[in-house]
Chains A and B, each alone.
Chain A
């Protein structure tokens, strides 16, 4: 038996072949995965992988609903790891099933197993006279086999669908307006609930005058548990209307206000922090090495920052919960981690885990850990008040904006030295940030579900701790991709965040790559080198070099072809219409996909508005499974990053978050999106790499570099709003 450590981690956790697939009775194959569709197209890619490996047409593959206790447990759909984890597991499951089916067929057909293969579920004896189908052999029956070694997989040359792709399996029903989202669930006896949140993060309910809503038509119940307040009603609009009345009937104690934060960077740097130097990308508990520089070297210093950002899902988070009369609780959720949620619900509700099922149901895109898990507890608390009836609870838009766990702010201080030939001879990167690890975890000392802290017997949030694994959280992509001598990289973990934070797509990679790749342009300028040439001079990784070369070729270089062009030398003004291009490159987590991005901006002198006109992307995700799905993820990541980088900041005062809707938290609109062109470097011989978070960092830096090319103004603090551009142009001390 081979070493189980060679098996994909998802198979080590879920080794039974029947956990992954079933050869159905009716000429179809059921695929089971613990990863969930978030709009990223994962179910399409997994379908392609299994179809090819087993030997059936993709239309025969049906994806089962992901439900706790039934689907393989793959923890969380996050970190751009679904292809690497679930894809690897399903490929092995397909290879195992094929091997077992061919062995059976060899007996039935009295043929040498080495001469047999499966083509759309049919196995033919040599000569083709005798055939047997996998449905005849195995239809509707379990394999009863444990995967304990690697089965031989098909070579890329045998793939018919992997690398070619297909139309998204989930798209047509969405285009037809079929009720496929959780918010559309229709269950017998379904009723609706709304939660009434405290006016600020620390307020406690003082008094609730129930009599003021008791006669409201449609009211089914009121839940008051500590400071958790919710109303249940027959229809959704009844719930909305009554929640409005209930809000007016609630009185709250005065609460401790949030700290005064005029400048997030200053707050991060001044606050108590724990420092961890990185060794080859891994934070260690050790003395922070002092800054030392070669004698006579030229030093360059720059500091960068990003604010808190919102996931800002287009749909407010929602869940449906049903407490059966036998005491079993079923929760329909768009959580990224239904098994973790199940364990956390059990803790919050003080129930046995096996008395709870969580069924994944599609939500709007979440881009990380948003309110999905929190609202599941809200709905469950309401369902307990009305056993036997399913209760749907959706947050309001304002609640989503004000209560979701935000992507944390960060501050980055870069310092480097250049030798006389203009090569980097010293490198330092300090990154300050709050935790990105806010997901609810069943173990540990606290519970990261919002309402758990509001209950009469509250369970507080887990104390944030610095994550010290490679490439997570604050230090994701802090380690440079460049071949540098003894880089000094320090993670500085600030525990005390004014706002609740968790994982937002790309985690620390957005701020760190923005800083590194902006800084590389600043160093290139200081060295008097072209930005691309300067990068190439320090880049050994051939795949990184390849995407950088490809993207520059795709864009036709970094000079703008049209009049009003910035030349890259910078004019330190935006008083004339100007254009510029910038480039950046990174490998996500220094272990997933490579992406290089060129952005072209136009700067309008009257409004000081920066517009992204064109984006070019070159990416290497190893073996490509679904080319268009991959392009879609890379493009979407780039557009979302443009929105973050140009426009977004969670604003808050001492009484809470003031970014409460789309007017106070604007995001990129149709009139503002650029044209995007993407090329893929397919490497069928290399493992497939996650790509959903590959372009956010490079896009942010390419944008800043393009603004510099257009105006000579270096924007180091995000977002790059007109106000920021004006202040930067006004000069130091003000910016």
Chain B
């Protein structure tokens, strides 16, 4: 089966019933995609699917045939994407395990609406758990990005 990941087309020889997350992490080595619960409850595993953030920990890779996926590895080259830079500038993290999923959700939000309100940002990130309590500074970072956007 074929999927496009970070702009590159891959012909995958994998069991179609394996959850997408395991194919991305193990077959393609995209370690940014995080296993947090395997239950679609925490958001750590989200990836962009044709531009929309989707859980990858339960849905099987077969469901994504022919689709275009983006993981955090597809965001930046030398320079960081503005949403990554915003978090860096604000030290907006503690342990960082949740960051990948949050950046995926924020990317989809800002691509659709470059000037989201604080409330809109909160709603867009509401699938994402952060146990360290870094949410206030993540929100501040994205609010500032929105104001400057």
Q: Could you tell me which A residues sit within 8 Å of B by CB distance?
A: 38-41, 167-168, 170-172, 174-181, 183-184, 186, 235-237, 240, 312-316, 362-365, 367, 394, 396-397, 628-629, 632, 635-640, 643, 661-663, 667-671, 673-676
User: Complex Cα distance A97/B68, Å?
Assistant: 55
In the complex, the answer to whether B135 meets A670 with C-beta atoms within 8 Å is yes
Q: Could you tell me which B residues sit within 8 Å of A by CB distance?
A: 18-19, 22, 25-26, 29-32, 34-39, 41-42, 44, 71-73, 75-76, 80, 84, 87-89, 91, 93-100, 103, 121-123, 125-126, 128-139
Query: Which residues of chain A come closer than 8 Å to B98, judged between CB atoms?
Result: 314, 364
Pairs across A and B, CB under 8 Å, 6 listed: A171-B96, A176-B76, A179-B31, A184-B31, A236-B26, A638-B133
Query: Which residues of chain A come closer than 8 Å to B129, judged between CB atoms?
Result: 314, 662, 667, 669
Tell me the smallest distance from the CB of A234 to a CB of chain B, in Å.
Answer: 10
Beyond the given pairs A315-B97, A639-B133, A673-B135, 15 more chain A to chain B contacts, judged by CB atoms under 8 angstroms and listed by A's residue number, are: A41-B91, A176-B84, A183-B34, A235-B22, A237-B18, A314-B42, A362-B95, A394-B35, A397-B39, A662-B37, A662-B129, A669-B129, A670-B128, A671-B126, A673-B133
In the complex, the answer to whether B76 meets A640 with C-beta atoms within 8 Å is no
Tell me the smallest distance from the CB of A194 to a CB of chain B, in Å.
Answer: 11
In the complex, the answer to whether A314 meets B95 with C-beta atoms within 8 Å is yes
Known contacts A176-B76, A314-B42, A636-B132; A171 and B97 CB within 8 A of each other:
no
User: Complex Cα distance A468/B80, Å?
Assistant: 51
Query: Which residues of chain A come closer than 8 Å to B99, judged between CB atoms?
Result: 174-175
In the complex, the answer to whether B37 meets A661 with C-beta atoms within 8 Å is yes
> Max chain A CB contacts within 10 Å: which of B34, B122, B126, B130?
B130
Known contacts A396-B38, A636-B94; A39 and B80 CB within 8 A of each other:
no
Known contacts A367-B131, A669-B129; A236 and B22 CB within 8 A of each other:
yes
Measured CB to CB, the nearest residue on chain B to A173 is B96
User: Complex Cα distance A167/B137, Å?
Assistant: 14
Query: Which residues of chain B come closer than 8 Å to A183, judged between CB atoms?
Result: 34-35
Main secondary structure of the interface of B (DSSP, over half): loop
In the complex, the answer to whether B80 meets A640 with C-beta atoms within 8 Å is no
Measured CB to CB, the nearest residue on chain A to B140 is A675
Tell me the smallest distance from the CB of B5 to a CB of chain A, in Å.
Answer: 13
Query: Which residues of chain B come closer than 8 Å to A313, judged between CB atoms?
Result: 131
User: Complex Cα distance A667/B43, Å?
Assistant: 13
Tell me the smallest distance from the CB of B91 to a CB of chain A, in Å.
Answer: 5
In the complex, the answer to whether A635 meets B38 with C-beta atoms within 8 Å is no
* 10 cross-chain pairs, A with B, having the tightest CB-CB distances, nearest first: A177-B32, A39-B95, A639-B133, A179-B31, A177-B72, A174-B96, A636-B133, A364-B97, A365-B95, A39-B94
Tell me the smallest distance from the CB of A130 to a CB of chain B, in Å.
Answer: 40
Contact among A171, A176, A397, A667 for B91, CB-based, below 8 A: A171
In the complex, the answer to whether A632 meets B76 with C-beta atoms within 8 Å is no
- A-B contacts, CB under 8 A, total: 173
Query: Which residues of chain A come closer than 8 Å to B134, judged between CB atoms?
Result: 632, 635-636, 639
Query: Which residues of chain A come closer than 8 Å to B133, judged between CB atoms?
Result: 635-640, 643, 668, 673
Tell me the smallest distance from the CB of B61 to a CB of chain A, in Å.
Answer: 10
Query: Which residues of chain A come closer than 8 Å to B18, judged between CB atoms?
Result: 237
In the complex, the answer to whether A314 meets B35 with C-beta atoms within 8 Å is no
In the complex, the answer to whether A662 meets B136 with C-beta atoms within 8 Å is no
Query: Which residues of chain B come closer than 8 Å to A397, judged between CB atoms?
Result: 36-39, 41-42
User: Complex Cα distance A92/B97, Å?
Assistant: 33
In the complex, the answer to whether A674 meets B132 with C-beta atoms within 8 Å is no
In the complex, the answer to whether B32 meets A632 with C-beta atoms within 8 Å is no
Contact among A312, A363, A673 for B139, CB-based, below 8 A: A673
Query: Which residues of chain B come closer than 8 Å to A237, judged between CB atoms?
Result: 18-19, 22, 26
Tell me the smallest distance from the CB of B39 to a CB of chain A, in Å.
Answer: 6
Query: Which residues of chain B come closer than 8 Å to A315, judged between CB atoms?
Result: 34-36, 44, 97
Measured CB to CB, the nearest residue on chain B to A39 is B95
In the complex, the answer to whether B36 meets A176 with C-beta atoms within 8 Å is no
User: Complex Cα distance A38/B94, Å?
Assistant: 8
In the complex, the answer to whether B94 meets A177 with C-beta atoms within 8 Å is no
In the complex, the answer to whether A177 meets B91 with C-beta atoms within 8 Å is no
In the complex, the answer to whether A662 meets B97 with C-beta atoms within 8 Å is no
Tell me the smallest distance from the CB of A184 to a CB of chain B, in Å.
Answer: 4
Tell me the smallest distance from the CB of B59 to a CB of chain A, in Å.
Answer: 13
Tell me the smallest distance from the CB of B76 to a CB of chain A, in Å.
Answer: 6
Known contacts A671-B122, A671-B123; A167 and B91 CB within 8 A of each other:
yes
Query: Which residues of chain A come closer than 8 Å to B138, judged between CB atoms?
Result: 670
Main secondary structure of the interface of A (DSSP, over half): loop
User: Complex Cα distance A40/B130, Å?
Assistant: 14
Query: Which residues of chain B come closer than 8 Å to A673, judged between CB atoms?
Result: 122, 133, 135-136, 139
Tell me the smallest distance from the CB of A583 to a CB of chain B, in Å.
Answer: 19
User: Complex Cα distance A661/B37, Å?
Assistant: 8
In the complex, the answer to whether B72 meets A639 with C-beta atoms within 8 Å is no
Contact among B94, B125, B126 for A41, CB-based, below 8 A: B94
User: Complex Cα distance A543/B39, Å?
Assistant: 47
User: Complex Cα distance A643/B136, Å?
Assistant: 13
> Max chain A CB contacts within 10 Å: which of B39, B95, B136?
B95
Tell me the smallest distance from the CB of B92 to a CB of chain A, in Å.
Answer: 9
Query: Which residues of chain B come closer than 8 Å to A632, judged between CB atoms?
Result: 91, 94, 134, 137
Measured CB to CB, the nearest residue on chain A to B31 is A179
Measured CB to CB, the nearest residue on chain A to B26 is A235
Tell me the smallest distance from the CB of A617 to a CB of chain B, in Å.
Answer: 11
Query: Which residues of chain A come closer than 8 Å to B44, judged between CB atoms?
Result: 314-315
In the complex, the answer to whether B39 meets A365 with C-beta atoms within 8 Å is no
In the complex, the answer to whether A171 meets B100 with C-beta atoms within 8 Å is no
User: Complex Cα distance A635/B92, Å?
Assistant: 11
Query: Which residues of chain A come closer than 8 Å to B84, judged between CB atoms?
Result: 175-176
Contact among B87, B126, B132 for A669, CB-based, below 8 A: B126
User: Complex Cα distance A168/B87, Å?
Assistant: 11
Tell me the smallest distance from the CB of A651 to a CB of chain B, in Å.
Answer: 17
User: Complex Cα distance A638/B94, Å?
Assistant: 14
Tell me the smallest distance from the CB of B122 to a CB of chain A, in Å.
Answer: 5
Tell me the smallest distance from the CB of B1 to a CB of chain A, in Å.
Answer: 16
Contact among A176, A396, A670 for B72, CB-based, below 8 A: A176
Measured CB to CB, the nearest residue on chain B to A643 is B133
Query: Which residues of chain A come closer than 8 Å to B132, judged between CB atoms?
Result: 39, 365, 636, 640
Query: Which residues of chain B come closer than 8 Å to A669, judged between CB atoms?
Result: 126, 129
In the complex, the answer to whether B97 meets A314 with C-beta atoms within 8 Å is yes
Tell me the smallest distance from the CB of B86 to a CB of chain A, in Å.
Answer: 10
Tell me the smallest distance from the CB of A164 to a CB of chain B, in Å.
Answer: 13
User: Complex Cα distance A397/B37, Å?
Assistant: 5
User: Complex Cα distance A94/B36, Å?
Assistant: 40
User: Complex Cα distance A315/B43, Å?
Assistant: 11
Measured CB to CB, the nearest residue on chain B to A217 is B15
Tell me the smallest distance from the CB of A459 to a CB of chain B, in Å.
Answer: 31
Query: Which residues of chain A come closer than 8 Å to B76, judged between CB atoms?
Result: 176
User: Complex Cα distance A365/B41, Å?
Assistant: 18
In the complex, the answer to whether A364 meets B131 with C-beta atoms within 8 Å is yes
Tell me the smallest distance from the CB of B90 to a CB of chain A, in Å.
Answer: 9
Contact among A174, A638, A640 for B131, CB-based, below 8 A: A640
Measured CB to CB, the nearest residue on chain A to B138 is A670
> Max chain A CB contacts within 10 Å: which of B75, B121, B123, B135?
B135
User: Complex Cα distance A240/B58, Å?
Assistant: 12
Query: Which residues of chain A come closer than 8 Å to B128, judged between CB atoms?
Result: 670
In the complex, the answer to whether B91 meets A175 with C-beta atoms within 8 Å is no
Query: Which residues of chain A come closer than 8 Å to B71, judged between CB atoms?
Result: 177
Query: Which residues of chain B come closer than 8 Å to A364, judged between CB atoms?
Result: 95, 97-98, 131
Query: Which residues of chain A come closer than 8 Å to B89, judged between CB atoms?
Result: 167
User: Complex Cα distance A670/B118, Å?
Assistant: 10
Query: Which residues of chain A come closer than 8 Å to B87, judged between CB atoms?
Result: 171, 175
Contact among A235, A363, A635, A670 for B122, CB-based, below 8 A: A670
Contact among B35, B88, B131 for A365, CB-based, below 8 A: B131
Query: Which residues of chain B come closer than 8 Å to A179, judged between CB atoms?
Result: 31-32
Query: Which residues of chain B come closer than 8 Å to A40, judged between CB atoms?
Result: 94
Query: Which residues of chain A come closer than 8 Å to B91, judged between CB atoms?
Result: 41, 167-168, 171, 628-629, 632
User: Complex Cα distance A669/B37, Å?
Assistant: 16
